[in-house]
Amino acid sequence: MSAPDPAARSLDVDAVMAQLTLEEKVSLASGADFWRTQAVERLGVPSVMVTDGPHGLRKQAGASDHVGLHDSVPATCFPPAAGLASTWDVDLLRRVGVALGDECRAEEVAVLLGPGVNMKRTPLCGRDFEYFSEDPLLAGELAAALVQGVQSRGVGTSLKHFAANNQETERMSVSVEVDERTLREIYLPAFERVVTRAQPWTVMCSYNRVNGVYASQDPWLLTRVLRADWGFEGLVVSDWGAVDERWRAVAAGLDLEMPSSGGTGEASIRTALEGGSLTQAQLDVVVRRNLELLQRVLPALAPGQTFDAGAHHALAREAARQSAVLLANDGVLPLEPASGGRLAVVGEMARSPRYQGAGSSQVSPTRLDDALTALREGTSRDVVFAPGYVTESEEADDALVAEAVEAARSAEVVVLFLGLPASYESEGYDREHLDLPASQVALLEAVRAVNDRVVVVLSNGAAVAVDAWQHHAAALLEGWLLGQAGGAATADLLYGVVSPSGRLAETVPVRLEDTPAFGAFPGDSGVVRYREGLLIGYRWYDTRRAPVSFPFGHGLSYTTFEHSDLSVRASGAGADASVEVALTVTNTGSRAGAEVVQVYAAPQDASVFRPEQELVGFARVELEPGASAPVSLVLSARDLGHWSEVHRRWVLESGRYEVRVGASSRDVRQRAVVEVQGEELVVPLSPQSEAGTWLEHPVVGPRLREQLGDAAAMLDDPQHGQMMRAIPLVRLTRFPGFPVREEDLPGMAEEAGASVGPA
């Protein structure tokens, strides 16, 4: 593609700020229409376009004054995040990001609205197809690479939806009730990793409330956490229609309201300025960030740029190949393309693919491959087809089933395409169950009755229950939603052109009732309570030792891998502590393939509750048959630590940590225990602290015991001491004859804090 002259379009932010009128400043805090920012023509401030597209550009064609969900310019439809996450391939995500950036430049789009890194708290979330994972480290690493790729082309991204947007039900108003430790360890780290690694040019706030406060006007989220704690340098934009009170959003740190509110937002700002609730200095901060975004994006927006649609389709095919996960295989796969008996391809989705989700991420593809055509073109074997079902129907069609059974009866192998109809999952509403349509399960049972070599290929945006029927399948390929090249990629995998390499980025549960949020989703009375706390996804199943259909990280290949020579070495202490993990991976099979080495940490001496294990690192390794490769990762204090609600920061405790290396959270191949030197953590004291906490303090404790004299025996009594030590010290001082005075406690607590330094 042709490269624009970076000097052709520029903006002097300081000069513009000095000349803007108050009314112009107010206008810049809001959008001009549905997709464009405001212009100030007299000062050369242009309007630029932002648009949807976590997995492909969704630029509305024609006038940009409405949402236009079904009318957008052709663009490459890559696999949505549910598929891309299953690649565990950071380099691939970066290359997809570069392609997305080039397509934005060709359409003069300044900011691509994505990626979405919200956690998959439940497989019922209607928008799970465009979120990466149930694990924040995996989601953060992949999203950071995508952001780096897009922004390397001079196009901005919008990391979304900040924060705790994990359902579609009442998404515009629901209050997520969640404790800070759970936020910091589960729902915020993916955002943090992208911000600190990739500095997205914008972050998009979510619709919902967090502990009662709308995300669009939450200063703790938008200023304290995002900017002060993480160092975010860019612009905060609202989700479309997420602003409640515009002036409060300005004060909280929300820079741009989208879309245009028809003057309501501007009026709110003016009124607040006039009444003193908002200062011009606060408004100036918001205006400057909007201008700085323009300064960043303008050089890339020169007209006349193009992209290579064929190369991007090839990249989409590569991504789709790596996204599919082979869940089970009794040896029927790979299929031999050059010899063998008849293949029966059954299922309407083979002919009419479901390749992406519905809603604001819906892309108009530049072309579309279907699996039926690709399977026919990829083999010299006889291929017959039967649709088997009507995609959007719950009821079995007897004639279609009968036709499919006859096709299966005469075939050597049946490839059966099943999945969720488009109406089952979409932005705007959540799923009600985990099941495939009953008509599809009935079709599988009927086909299996006449042929025991049935390969099931799934198309779905989030996990589906497979336990009730998977025994009918000789092989099971989880295809997720594979984008515009998914049909050809599926044929490549089934015929063994490439070996499957996808690994699950989310657990496949046995039943809905087993899932972590069951009974606490989607909430009621405008509130959803995250009662499961830290235990979402595999953290829940592994800690409870609960059965699953397929565990997090699982995925089969056409070859085999061996992990050997694990070594684990700790160094440093406290915040500078680290653990180096090294091992060797060998391809012990007869085909080339890719292994995803997963490293989990299990604290052995934690003083607070920790999940059974947590993913702390991973590496994707591609190997030829018989080849070996070293793998090494360095785990930081942050990787091994936890958020302390006492100290209000991340801490690392001293003690033993078991490092587990394997091919899934349930397939641990090697283990090693390492002693880590953490921090000397001392609990801050207050008069309300329990007496036992006072006694355990390294400085004040011994002196307090001296003051207590004979009364110390009461606290040390083997029968009643535990009860007495649990009483706040201030209350004990009020007991008759207690040798410590209440008025002395604040000074002792202050001395204790000074003796150990700031928390």
| Per-residue pLDDT tens digits for 90-118 | 999 999 999 999 999 999 999 999 999 99
Please check the confidence at residue 18 and state whether its pLDDT lies above 60.
yes
Residue 751: which pLDDT band, with cuts at 50, 70 and 90?
confident
What is the average pLDDT across 603-623?
Answer: 97
Residue 537: which pLDDT band, with cuts at 50, 70 and 90?
very high
The sheet with strand 209-210 has its strands ordered as 213-214, 209-210, 175-177, 527-529
Residue 680: which pLDDT band, with cuts at 50, 70 and 90?
confident
583-606 burial, b at 16+ Cβ within 10 Å, e below that, comes to bebbbebeebbbbbbbbbbbbeee
According to the model, what pLDDT value does residue 196 have? Answer: 98
Please check the confidence at residue 212 and state whether its pLDDT lies above 80.
yes
According to the model, what pLDDT value does residue 758 have? Answer: 40
3-class DSSP state for residue 41? helix
Which has more confidence, 366 or 706? 366
Q: How far apart are CA 352 and CA 72, in angstroms?
A: 20
According to the model, what pLDDT value does residue 67 have? Answer: 54
CB 413 within 8 A of CB 335: yes
- The DSSP code sequence of 203-251 is EEEPSSEETTEEGGG-HIIIIIIIIIIT---SEEEE-TT--SSHHHHHH
Burial class (CB in 10 A: 0-12, 13-18, 19+), 33: middle
Residue 684: which pLDDT band, with cuts at 50, 70 and 90?
confident
Please check the confidence at residue 8 and state whether its pLDDT lies above 70.
no
CB 419 within 8 A of CB 353: no
What is the average pLDDT across 403-430?
Answer: 97
Q: Are strands 383-386 and 213-214 parallel, antiparallel or unpaired?
A: unpaired
Q: How far apart are CA 73 and CA 35, in angstroms?
A: 14
| Per-residue pLDDT tens digits for 236-247 | 999 999 999 999
Q: Which residue type sits at 88?
A: W
What is the average pLDDT across 285-299?
Answer: 98
- Structure-block tokens of residue 306: 């193009």
DSSP 185: I
CB 131 within 8 A of CB 81: yes
Nearest CA among 534, 536, 596 for reference residue 561: 596
CB 48 within 8 A of CB 288: no
What is the average pLDDT across 516-545?
Answer: 97
According to the model, what pLDDT value does residue 65 have? Answer: 47
| Per-residue pLDDT tens digits for 74-92 | 999 999 999 999 999 999 9
Q: How far apart are CA 103 and CA 750, in angstroms?
A: 59
- Structure-block tokens of residue 269: 């700002």
Please list, in sequence order, all residues whose beta carbon lies within 8 angstroms of the beta carbon of residue 435, skipping any fewer than 6 positions away: 441, 464, 465
Handedness of CA 269, 241, 169, 157 (dihedral sign): negative
Q: How far apart are CA 446 and CA 440, in angstroms?
A: 10
Nearest CA among 395, 306, 316 for reference residue 356: 316
Please check the confidence at residue 2 and state whether its pLDDT lies above 90.
no
Please check the confidence at residue 4 and state whether its pLDDT lies above 70.
no
According to the model, what pLDDT value does residue 63 have? Answer: 56
| Per-residue pLDDT tens digits for 424-442 | 999 999 999 999 999 999 9
According to the model, what pLDDT value does residue 754 have? Answer: 62
What is the average pLDDT across 329-334?
Answer: 98
- SS percent in the chain: helix, strand, coil, step 5: 35, 25, 45
What is the average pLDDT across 52-58?
Answer: 92
Q: How far apart are CA 570 and CA 577, in angstroms?
A: 7
CB 679 within 8 A of CB 638: no
* Among 59-68, 567-576, 661-670, 744-753, the least confident range: 59-68
Residues recognised as catalytic:
239
- Structure-block tokens of residue 629: 């490769």
Please check the confidence at residue 66 and state whether its pLDDT lies above 90.
no
According to the model, what pLDDT value does residue 279 have? Answer: 97
- Structure-block tokens of residue 528: 């959803």
| Per-residue pLDDT tens digits for 657-672 | 999 999 999 999 999 9
Residue 628: which pLDDT band, with cuts at 50, 70 and 90?
very high
Residue 1: which pLDDT band, with cuts at 50, 70 and 90?
very low
What is the average pLDDT across 403-425?
Answer: 97
Mean pLDDT of the chain: 95
Please check the confidence at residue 70 and state whether its pLDDT lies above 60.
no
Q: How far apart are CA 307 and CA 300, in angstroms?
A: 14
Q: Are strands 475-478 and 325-329 parallel, antiparallel or unpaired?
A: antiparallel
What is the average pLDDT across 176-181?
Answer: 98
Please check the confidence at residue 593 and state whether its pLDDT lies above 50.
yes
- Distance, first Cα to last Cα, the chain: 53
What is the average pLDDT across 474-482?
Answer: 98
Q: How far apart are CA 21 and CA 24, in angstroms?
A: 5
Q: How far apart are CA 663 and CA 719, in angstroms?
A: 49
- The DSSP code sequence of 357-420 is -BSTT--EES----HHHHHHHT-SS-EEEE--S-TT-SS--HHHHHHHHHHHHT-SEEEEEEE-
- Catalogue all structural domains in the chain, each as residue range(s) with its CATH number: 13-300 (3.20.20.300), 315-545 (3.40.50.1700), 561-676 (2.60.40.10), 691-756 (no CATH)
Model confidence, pTM: 0.95
CB 371 within 8 A of CB 417: yes
